[in-house]
């Protein structure tokens, strides 16, 4: 009898989908964060400008497609103080950062011979 109940629950989960609630299960809240993706390419950053409302957390994903495996990037505020930084090396071609910053204009820049730049505006 126990196997039948477990099999029935598994079948219900498959029909309802992975994210669905099972009947009688405690409610759960799932927070969904938006994501901005910036590509570092040979010709520069794409997109070159991102605008977001202030007060909303979001994820910033930077993908190194420049062909240079050794790129150092930093996210700086108006005073050029680094809010966060990443050194890409070898196969590590992505950087995922949770962003919670006050209103302002920030620059995603690179160091080295290949210069990249993207402006992030939170208002």
- The three-state (H, E, C) secondary structure of 107-118, written as one string: EEEEECCCCCEE
pLDDT band at 110 (very low <50, low <70, confident <90, very high): confident
The residues that bridge with 72 in the sheet, in sequence order, are: 87, 111
- Given a cut of 90, whether residue 18 has pLDDT beyond it is no
Give me the pLDDT at residue 24, please: 58
Higher-pLDDT residue of 86 and 24 is: 86
Assess contact for 42 and 74: CB atoms under 8 A: no
Assess contact for 97 and 84: CB atoms under 8 A: yes
Assess contact for 119 and 60: CB atoms under 8 A: no
Full-prediction pTM beyond 0.85? Answer: no
Pick from 20-34, 64-78, 107-121: least confident: 20-34
- 32-91 pLDDT, tens digit per residue, is 889 999 999 888 899 999 999 998 899 999 999 988 888 889 999 888 888 888 888 877
If phi > 0 it is left, if psi is from -120 to 50 it is alpha, else beta; for residue 33 that is beta
Give me the pLDDT at residue 70, please: 83
Assess contact for 63 and 94: CB atoms under 8 A: yes
Task: Give the mean pLDDT of the chain.
Answer: 78
* 33-122: CATH superfamily: Cupredoxins -  blue copper proteins (2.60.40.420)
Strands 94-99 and 82-87: unpaired
């Amino acid at each position: 009898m126990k196997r039948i109940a477990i099999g029935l629950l598994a079948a219900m989960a498959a029909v309802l989908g992975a994210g669905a609630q099972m009947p009688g299960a405690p409610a759960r809240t799932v927070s969904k964060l938006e994501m901005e993706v910036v590509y570092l390419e040979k010709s520069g950053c794409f997109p070159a400008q991102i605008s977001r409302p202030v007060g909303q957390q979001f994820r910033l994903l930077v993908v190194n497609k420049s062909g240079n495996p050794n790129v150092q990037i930093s996210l700086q505020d108006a005073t050029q103080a680094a809010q966060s930084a990443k050194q890409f090396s070898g196969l590590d071609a992505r950087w995922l950062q949770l962003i919670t910053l006050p209103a302002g204009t920030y620059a995603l820049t690179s160091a080295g011979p290949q210069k990249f730049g993207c402006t992030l505006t939170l208002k």
